[in-house]
Amino acid sequence: MSTDLLQQIRLHGHLPRHVAIIMDGNGRWARERGRPREFGHKAGMSAVREAVAGATEAGVEVLTLFAFSQENWHRPRGEVSALMALLELYVRREQRELREKGVEVHAIGDLSRLGPRTRRALEGIVEHTAGGTRMRLNLAVSYGARGEIVRAAQRLAERVRAGTLSPGEIDEALFASELYTADVPDPDLLIRTSGEHRISNFMLWQLAYTELHITPVLWPDFGREHLFQAIRDFQRRERRFGRVAAT
């Protein structure tokens, strides 16, 4: 079925350039099986692999995965440690294949909060995949949209204080240039798994006109077919960005 969906996507031709995913449901998936949350997080790694592979097959230019939020730091220490270990394992296992596939990896978020080993692992995959031209993969780690917006405001305020920028020069484009995603288009499509209808402090600025696709599928069960279904859903929509066609 995924092959048929991919053919439909290619026939339609109108692709989302940037797809963002809130990967939700690992804990619920594990609980349904009587296992600890860490078991669900580990199972979710295969879904990450499926999403990346499916996005490259479909021709998506940018894929952003919400891997670890600033709020996640408040989870139990053991779970945070397990998540960091899984992140390190993912980048070690996947960096060679991602490079071969032409996927360039970027890490976005407040990386200063990460431990030295995790930071080195992320820096390693970013360096190893630099120059990939097929797709950009953003890993949002220690990321929070409110923090990102405050950071952008602070950076602009510093320029005003230094006398290199006047307040009247600040517009939407200049503000966006100070965000983590300054060099990529805003997401066209946001996918959230597990059926939850919220955006959880994720890309608040960038999602202004993003199409939303909510699926009840828990993240460890999310496969290429589900990604393709979301893209087909996007292709059927009319995007007006607040405008209407002339009559």
The secondary structure of 19-42 as a DSSP string is: EEEE---HHHHHHHTT--HHHHHH
DSSP state of 213: E
**CA atoms of 81 and 127, how far apart (whole Å):** 24
Q: Which SS3 state, helix, strand or coil, does residue 113 take?
A: helix
> For residue 155, how many C-alpha atoms fall within 13 Å in the half-sphere facing its CB?
13
Does the pLDDT of residue 242 top 80, yes or no? no
* Stretch 106-116: mean pLDDT: 96
Is 72 tagged catalytic? Answer: yes
Does the pLDDT of residue 88 top 70, yes or no? yes
Amino acid 150: pLDDT:
98
Tokens at 247, concatenated:
């009559």
- Asked if residues 128 and 150 have their Cβ atoms less than 8 Å apart, the reply is no
Is 138 tagged catalytic? Answer: no
**CA atoms of 129 and 120, how far apart (whole Å):** 14
Residues, the chain:
247
Q: Measure the CA angle with vertex 187, ends 165 and 247; round to 5°.
A: 95
**CA atoms of 87 and 84, how far apart (whole Å):** 5
- Gyration radius from the chain CA atoms: 19
- Asked if residues 223 and 6 have their Cβ atoms less than 8 Å apart, the reply is no
| Average pLDDT across the chain, whole number | 95
Q: Which of 4, 26, 72, 183 is catalytic?
A: 72
- Asked if residues 53 and 224 have their Cβ atoms less than 8 Å apart, the reply is yes
Domains and CATH numbers, the chain: 23-234 (3.40.1180.10)
Provide φ and ψ at 212, rounded to 5°: -105, 140
Please give the sequence-ordered ranges of beta strands (E in DSSP) within 8-111, or none if there are none. 18-22, 62-69, 103-108
Amino acid 12: pLDDT:
85
Does the pLDDT of residue 3 top 90, yes or no? no
Q: Measure the CA angle with vertex 67, ends 29 and 78; round to 5°.
A: 65
Give me the percent of the chain exceeding a pLDDT of 70: 97
pTM of the prediction? 0.94
State the pLDDT confidence band at 125, using cuts at 50, 70 and 90.
very high
**CA atoms of 24 and 229, how far apart (whole Å):** 17
Q: Which of 4, 24, 110, 188 is catalytic?
A: 24
Does the pLDDT of residue 243 top 80, yes or no? no
